[in-house]
Amino acid sequence: MTKKVLFYLNQFFGGIGGEDKADYEPSFQTELVGPPTGIMPKAGDVESVGLIICGDNFFGQNEDETKAFIAKVIDETQPDIFVAGPAFNAGRYGFACAGACKVAHEAGVTCVSGMYEENPGLEHCQSFAWVAQTANAAAQMRKALPIMANLISKLAAGEEVTPEADKYFAQGRRECILVDELGSTRAVKMLLARLNDEPFETELPMPSFDVVEPAAPILDLSKATIALATSGGIVPNGNPDRLQSASAQQWNKYDISEYDQLKGDFYTVHGGFDPVYCNETADRVLPLDALRDMQKQGKIGKVYDFFYATTGTGTAVANARKFGEEIGKELKEAGVDGVLLTST
Amino acid sequence: MVKEIERYGIPIVHMATITTISQSVGANRIVPTVAIPYPTGNPNLPLEDEYKLRYSLVERAVNALATEVDGPTQFEG
Amino acid sequence: MVFVEGTFRDVLIKVRDMVHTGYELISHPLFASSRMMFSPYRTVVLGSKRDVSPQIECQIIEDSIISYDKLTARRNPQPEHNGDYAKVDLSLYEATLEEISMLRSSHTV
Amino acid sequence: MRLEHNLIYIKDVVLGDVNKVEDGVLTVDVEGLKAAVMTDDKVKDVKVDLAKPGERTRIVPVKDVIEPRFRVGRTNGFPGVTTKYEQAGDGVVNILKGAAIVTIGDMVGFQEGVIDMWGEGALWTPFSKTFNIVVDITPIDGLDPHQHEVVVRLAGLRASTFVGLAAENAAIDETKVYEIGTMAEEEAKYPDLPKVLYVQMNIAQGLLHDTFFYGVDLKEIIPTWFHPFEELDNAVISGNCVAACDKITTYQHQNNALTYDLYEQHGKTINFIGNIFSPELTTLDGKFRNCDYCAKLCHQLGANGVIVSEEGYGNPDSDLVMICSRLEKRGIKTALVTDECSGWDGTSQPLTDTAPEAVAVVSSGNVSKVIDLEPADKVLGNIKSAQTLAGGWDGCVAEDGSLKVELNAVIGATSEIGYHNASVKLY
């Protein structure tokens, strides 16, 4: 059965204009322009129901309004597949594609997009949309469109896809399936491959954590500003900012420029451990006293005027990442040279 | 949080008791600490000894910031 | 002996708090089967309090809570089985005590 | 050791008054079978039914599955359990291949363990493909769960031996010969092949959570090296009643898929030097000791590679990764078989206890995958148990009577000895 496809583009690829038209209000048309015209001929048994065009800035500044518009078009055109982008490495466009896909996904529509791996929009739609891996610049349009067309074609036909063969970003969803070989046979083959130094693929990859290049060491500690941070929920007595005791939704910073130690004035709101010891002396969790002494002895330049606190237990990974980005930005701007982060 | 801060080019040392977690959050400089409720202390020690312990942990952490590493590295006492 | 008024999860949280403050984790906090994860009762054996909790014990209790949460995310309690769960928990606890006595006490007079 | 499996392929089964096989049709002497089960005065009643592949029949709650066999010229039964101890692994066994004894007995109300013979449910259990002789055992009143479990466990074994008598004089369709000499002999034959061991982890924790080797409770042993053929010759039985999806039933011990597949490679790509039990205990000290000891045995025996299979979910996950990292640190390459819990939607981190050394892992399925079981025409066992299977969350029983259950509840669905073909794919 022929599947219906609805497209989404920004003002640039929709032929409205460049940055000067970035606040273009969303519109709907049945006539296709730009990338969809390259996708459709290779997208298998599908027909187009039309195209939404929206300025990237308009989407960012009027997200609710734009999403309502998209939802209305979806309701009217009843697409089976929603195709946004490709956005390559364009941040605002990627973010808009992700937001548009979210609307479609919630309406039960299959979503396809295309992005570069560093596009910030990716993490907002990777788990539910089929996002083709593209290069970082639109110059590679000719390579990106066939990948998206292939995904659309296979998804429309209900065919199996895999991240490797079909070049999309794995959604991270592990589907339990029946395969041809018994588990025992697969295990023996895997061991044989290992014994023969041949390639093998584990069925249960260990959690892959992306790694960051270690930052360069501090060259002269005696001139360095060192900041303190903790996921141990340290706050001034009374918890003025109401930091949550678990699954923190926020981070806080507190001025310690006048303090030589935390004892007496700070305590922990962390719910994951026995707080008695920390509440006697909060330096047991965030060692201001010792670091201040190192400053007085000239071993370090100075202790940064603020410390940063959140609560670690159960804090979602996405939140932890956001906190890190926000805190890191502040520290960078403040010229901090190094950070001690304590965890409980 | 560790990785994001380090991405700004600021060296960061993770002081934690469960160091496997430090490794899994992507910390490159790790100083193992005492215990979860008191990573940089030990209420069972006399105050003076406890402070010495804390100072040595902090000193180790600060020195770690000034040490070149090429991947996750634990700075043991 | 600490009695936790609450769920299996509450027991795990209490165990975590105690392990993190130095109590020795003697028996594994989880059962060995997915069905038993739905038990409202759980007995965990802890030892005496030490200055420092070994990392492996902290790791095991933390992992146990994550495993528990994953498996029970969608489940509702089935109180009609409480009595049976209690029986099995008690019986496994007795087996654990026997295991401990084999491990530790068989050479003491 | 030399073990011969004489296979008699069963294509249908009927109830009658004599045990025999004719043209692949197994006839079961119903009254004789009942009498064999009733020899234990703790059995009050026994019912016998058949469940054949394709029938809209549901069996629940399954206690154990056992393969009916006849041990030729030797004590006939399970050495050290239903017969006097006798060395297993050397000799001839006639096997009613394709038939299975399925015992029913609910020791505790929350017990799971379903076999659907048709539809979606059938896809997820290996025992929907066997001709099942279903033995529903009711014990006398007043037994505690311990005693009840023993009664049903032994009754099932006796039932399998009784039905297995049909194999004594049946025509043999195929003979499989398994032969492995001493370590020295095999080493001399295959000096260049890597030596491979199979470490089988077994739940050994108490009530409803036990495994027996020649009748010895595995709780009470430290890891032991044994000959792979012993397990294929009735030396290992299951005392497990929970962990429906990933327990090793007695049938799966008798037909351990990893042992079969490793033997298949013996002398070709590997030198298969044996099996090791590693009991999964409840205490951390016990776990440390057994995992250390197990790795030490593998090292001492000179293994180059080891396959480790788990049994259960939860605390055994700790043993699995500990054994793996201890082996890898000794330079021994491993492949692990385990199931995973990646949640209903498959988006949870699959393994909780992880070790960087666990680089080669076979996933035998997601225990939380939800499947639909259509209403059955016939339920063998306890209808209330069928409701217990689901009943764990909102909306699990549909208006037409179909059930939504997690794979957790299905016998053998995610067999961690690789006895089934479930897996997990990343999308």
pLDDT 10s digits, D84-99: 999 999 999 999 999 9
Respond yes or no: is residue D245 known to be catalytic.
no
Q: For residue C84, is it within any domain?
A: yes
H or E element: which one contains A115?
strand A110-115
Chains touching chain C at 3 or more Cβ pairs under 8 angstroms? Answer: A, B, D
Strand-pair category, D25-29 with D12-16: parallel
Share of chain D above pLDDT 70, in %: 98
Domain final residue pick, A166, A184, A204: A166
| pLDDT at residue D241 in the model | 84
Mean residue pLDDT of chain D comes to 93
Strand-pair category, A225-230 with A266-268: unpaired
- Compare C63 and D65 and report the one with higher pLDDT: D65
Q: For C6-107, where are the alpha helices, taking DSSP H only?
A: 8-20, 55-72, 82-104
What is the domain extent for residue A42?
A: 3-166
Q: For residue C86, is it within any domain?
A: yes
Q: For residue C41, is it within any domain?
A: yes
Give A164-210 pLDDT, tens digit per residue. 899 999 988 888 999 999 999 999 999 999 999 999 999 988 765 56
Q: Measured in whole angstroms, how far is the alpha carbon of residue A269 from the centre of its chain?
A: 28
Mean pLDDT score, D128-139: 97
Nearest-angstrom CA–CA distance, D389 and D409: 6
Write out chain D residues lying below 8 Å of A192, CB-based: 265, 269-270
Q: Do A27 and A160 share a domain, yes or no?
A: yes
Query: Band of the pLDDT at A315, cuts 50, 70, 90?
Result: very low
- Compare B43 and D270 and report the one with higher pLDDT: D270
Give D349-407 pLDDT, tens digit per residue. 777 777 888 999 999 999 989 898 999 999 998 777 777 775 556 667 777 778 888 89
Mean residue pLDDT of chain A comes to 91
Taking the Cβ of residue B45 and every Cβ of chain A, the question of whether any pair is shorter than 8 Å is answered with no
In this complex, which of A174, A188, A194 lies closest to D426 when CB atoms are compared? Answer: A174
Nearest CA in chain C to A277: C21
Predicted model pTM: 0.81
pLDDT of D413 over the 60 cut: yes
Q: Do D289 and C60 touch (CB under 8 A)?
A: no
Q: For residue C36, is it within any domain?
A: yes
The total domain count for chain C is: 1
Q: Which residues contact D393 (CB under 8 A, 6 or more apart)?
A: C74, C75, C76
| pLDDT at residue C4 in the model | 86
Structure tokens at C74: 């969608």
Nearest-angstrom CA–CA distance, D391 and D401: 12
| pLDDT at residue A314 in the model | 44
pLDDT of A286 over the 80 cut: yes
The total domain count for chain A is: 2
Chain A (90-129) residues lying within 8 Å, Cβ to Cβ, of chain D: 127
- Compare B17 and C87 and report the one with higher pLDDT: C87
Nearest-angstrom CA–CA distance, D79 and D235: 6
In this complex, which of B1, B17, B22 lies closest to A327 when CB atoms are compared? Answer: B1
Strand-pair category, D115-116 with D57-60: antiparallel
Q: For residue A264, is it within any domain?
A: yes
Indicate the domain borders of chain B: 2-72
Q: Do C16 and A274 touch (CB under 8 A)?
A: no
Q: For residue A176, is it within any domain?
A: no
Q: For residue A195, is it within any domain?
A: no
pLDDT of A29 over the 90 cut: yes
